[in-house]
Amino acid sequence: MPPVDLSPLRAQRPHRADAARNFDALLAAARDVFTEYGADAPMDEIARRADVSIATLYRNFPTREQMLENVYITEVEAVCRFAEDAAQLGPREGITSWLRRFVEYVATKRAVATGIDRDSDAYRACTQALYEAGGPLLERAQRAGLMRGDVDIDDVMRFVMAYTVVNFASPEQRGRMLEVAFDGLAATSRQAASLTATRQPAAR
């Protein structure tokens, strides 16, 4: 299945070089400002940090919702692209490294993620894109007998999402607790043996 193409949902990046620079600067500033202030962050602060006028901001992103959605889409695309690097790792390392990247994104950009309308086309498409990025990594680990087979990518992503709302003492502590969670997702010896048995050719 081809990955979900999120580009039609993004605001159009201008072709003119100076306008394109302003567009990129606004997205970068919005990512930082929303992270610091939350989804209700002042739009003039975004314009100030991007070193553009408020008129330029609204010309590119007419509403706060559009600005939030574009930041969200950009961040989700980065998480999805990371799946390509994760696929080069071993089966367990691949899915766990991708889940760590997903948790890191949600934990640090929670204001953006929670500010999106859950009924919007952008949110639904981004959710599907994340499932299609992480799903094959989980299935590969399951086929290798390294992850329990009675969960799917929706189960696993909801499970690790809990680690984005806990007030950990440090990112290192979050990392340790995630490792505990990954141990809980590991296939038991009985599950691994069952999977191996299903692969054996029938006796003739």
Nearest CA among 101, 96, 100 for reference residue 79: 101
Q: What tens digit of pLDDT does each residue of 110-129 get?
A: 778 778 888 889 999 999 99
Would residue 169 count as lying in a domain? yes
CA-angle at 7, arms to 117 and 158, nearest 5°: 45
Nearest CA among 30, 32, 19, 29 for reference residue 60: 19
Would residue 3 count as lying in a domain? no
Residue 106 tokens, joined: 């949600």
Would residue 75 count as lying in a domain? yes
Neighbours of 1 (CB within 10 A): 6
For 156-196, give the DSSP string: HHHHHHGGGTS--SSHHHHHHHHHHHHHHHBPPHHHHHHHH
Q: Which residues of 117-145 are buried (b: 16+ CB within 10 A; e: fewer)?
A: eeeeebbebbeebbbbbbbbbbbbbbeeb
Would residue 139 count as lying in a domain? yes
**Who wins on pLDDT, 171 or 113?**
171
Would residue 134 count as lying in a domain? yes
The residue to which tokens 């069952």 are assigned: 194
For residue 139, give its domain range.
8-188
- Range picked from 27-36, 48-57, 186-195 for highest mean pLDDT: 48-57
Would residue 199 count as lying in a domain? no
- At 156 the pLDDT is 95
Domain tally, the chain: 1
Nearest CA among 175, 101, 176 for reference residue 137: 101
Question: What's 129's domain CATH number?
Answer: 1.10.357.10
3-class state of residue 147 by DSSP: strand
Would residue 178 count as lying in a domain? yes
Would residue 138 count as lying in a domain? yes
Question: How many Å from the N-terminal Cα to the C-terminal Cα in the chain?
Answer: 36
Q: What tens digit of pLDDT does each residue of 65-108 get?
A: 999 999 999 999 999 999 999 999 999 999 999 999 999 888 87
3-class state of residue 16 by DSSP: coil
Q: Supply the mean pLDDT for the chain.
A: 88
Neighbours of 92 (CB within 10 A): 18
Question: Does the model's pTM come out above 0.75?
Answer: yes
- At 196 the pLDDT is 47
CB contact at 8 A, 132 and 3: yes
